[in-house]
Structure 1
Amino acid sequence: MARVVFITGANTGIGLEAVRALYRSKESYQILLGSRSLTNANSAIDTVKSEFPSSNSTITPVQIDIENDNSIKTAYSTIESQLGKLDVLINNAGAQFEQQFSAGKLSERELWNKSWDVNVTGTQIVTTTFIPLLLKSSDPRLLFITSGTATLSGSSNLATAVNRSPTAKGWPKPGFGGVPAYRSAKTGLNMLMREWHRILKEDRVKTWAISPGYLATGLGGNPEMSRKAGAGDPAVAGPFIRSVVEGERDADIGLVLTRGGIQDW
């Protein structure tokens, strides 16, 4: 029987790469592609199916906006009525808003509140809502997509641009301001993962945070600029996530996984 995998924010970026990787797997999956827009979801599905015309799996669109509780409840009701369970929940939906703040489109409070609402609070509510379906699986798996910028111990690594101090004294600081709201929220997400690992351990739910690396997605608003800054191909994230879904990292539950090992706290 095909395993049921629900991926939020999966019509683009890392989420879409996870869909691609699962769809071309030798294993059989019922992939639920979560997106705020059904039009975007269906467009993404058409793209994947055209790329891989032969597959053991299916892809179904699910409308979900993780900032909207009614949308989350509706998505749950749809999946519960049609499938009755989940085997894997991949909390991929997330966003970075620093560029909007720099452009004057968000106030500082809006920047921080929105960063936490999308990356932590919305993810928490999705997880809480869907746990009953996960617990109906014989091998439940819960994944949270995090960031390499979230590591506390790694924040002193000056080889990483977001860790470098401004060169000028005084206030305000000129130049690149980094992504403090985003990385703080993702650090919070790592603790959220640890809490779910603690809460669900006796229920045999395998829980991880996934840190795919610095990749040229649309997260920061400009993939091409990210590439010039050294970002990798988002395609590498798909096989990595699939490897966790298919059991290759079962010895590392409760940790933040990188493609090459474990991310420091």
Structure 2
Amino acid sequence: MPPKIILITGANSGIGLAAAKALTSASTNYHVIISARSLSKAQIAKAEVEAENPSSASRLSIVQLDVTDGASIKYAQVFVEKEFGHLDALINNAAIASGDPDIYTRYKVCMDTNVVGPAVIADVFRPLLLKSSNPYSIFVSSGAGSFGRAVERFSGTRDKPPEPKNGGAYHVSKAALNMLALREHHMYVDKGLKVFAFSPGFVVSNLRGTSNELRTGWGKAGPASVAGETLLSILDGKRDLDVGKLVYKDGVYDW
């Protein structure tokens, strides 16, 4: 049986890289396409995965893909179609958090990368997904985008974490991403597309910045490998009862 073809955006670090490692280590059933904004970053990520699991070399590909660049997205789509002919899963993982003091810049950066980019990626690659007999579309979101959790937080029924500097734009963008996932689910569930919004939790990532302090969330972030294993469980079909929902490691969040 040929391996399932998985494309991960922003797979050069954090959750995307952890997912690539988890998928290629689990079995030979997955071929992972590592995409990143620059080919050099994708090459470095590929080398890191291979170093930890030398047998994965034949089940890894790389492609340059900037989710905010239409030409780059089209190039990646042509590459995938030419090399593989279809996709079995698309993990829309690339994201950014902006602390820019200018509110226009802050919101535009977050919305362009976290919402517009995934919307375009999903639209461009969906025809390839629908060629699969069991396609998955996963939007890496955040519990911070859940309206239900936000209501609890704002009402004071949950412990209030410190508000990040110039926060808000990231949370709003993830709420919008959740709507994007929900709409795709309702539009394509009858065609067999299994759509998930996925909250990885507070894990080590370059999302907040590249310094050790920011990557580790001031020492409070958990390992990204946990998110990678949860994504593996989704693609293994273990969370199929939660299709069309905002899932996390231990369950489901309210929208």
Alignment of 1:219 with 2:210, yes or no, is no
The aligned residue for residue 176 of structure 2 is: 188
The aligned residue for residue 138 of structure 1 is: 133
Alignment of 1:247 with 2:240, yes or no, is no
How far apart in 1 are the matches of 2:38 and 2:177?
24
Alignment of 1:62 with 2:63, yes or no, is yes
Contact 1:216 1:224 in 2 (8 A): no
Q: For the pair shown, which has the larger CA radius of gyration, 1 or 2?
A: 1
The aligned residue for residue 116 of structure 2 is: 121
Contact 2:146 2:175 in 1 (8 A): yes
TM alignment of 1:45-60, pairs within 5 A = 45-55=46-56, 58-60=59-61
Contact 1:29 1:57 in 2 (8 A): no
Contact 1:32 1:60 in 2 (8 A): yes
2:95 is matched by which residue type in structure 1? G
Counting aligned pairs with the same residue, the percent is: 35
Alignment of 1:161 with 2:161, yes or no, is yes
Return 5+ residue gaps in structure 1 as ranges: 164-175
Q: TM-score, normalised by structure 2?
A: 0.92
Number of residue-to-residue matches in the alignment:
247
Alignment of 1:198 with 2:199, yes or no, is no
Return 5+ residue gaps in structure 2 as ranges: none
Q: Which moved more, 1:149-158 or 1:245-254?
A: 149-158
RMSD across aligned positions (CA): 1.6
The aligned residue for residue 38 of structure 1 is: 39
Task: Give the 4+ runs in structure 1 shifted more than 4 A.
Answer: none
Contact 1:8 1:35 in 2 (8 A): yes
1:257 paired residue among 233, 247, 252 = 247
Deviation (angstroms), 1:118: 0.5
The aligned residue for residue 78 of structure 2 is: 77
How far apart in 2 are the matches of 1:70 and 1:56?
28
Q: Which moved more, 1:49-58 or 1:114-123?
A: 49-58
Q: Which moved more, 1:229-238 or 1:38-47?
A: 229-238
Q: Deviations over 1:46-83 (max 9, x none)?
A: 11101112349611111100100111011101111111
Deviation (angstroms), 1:159: 1.5
How far apart in 2 are the matches of 1:185 and 1:35?
20
SS of corresponding position for 1:6: strand
Q: TM-score, normalised by structure 1?
A: 0.89
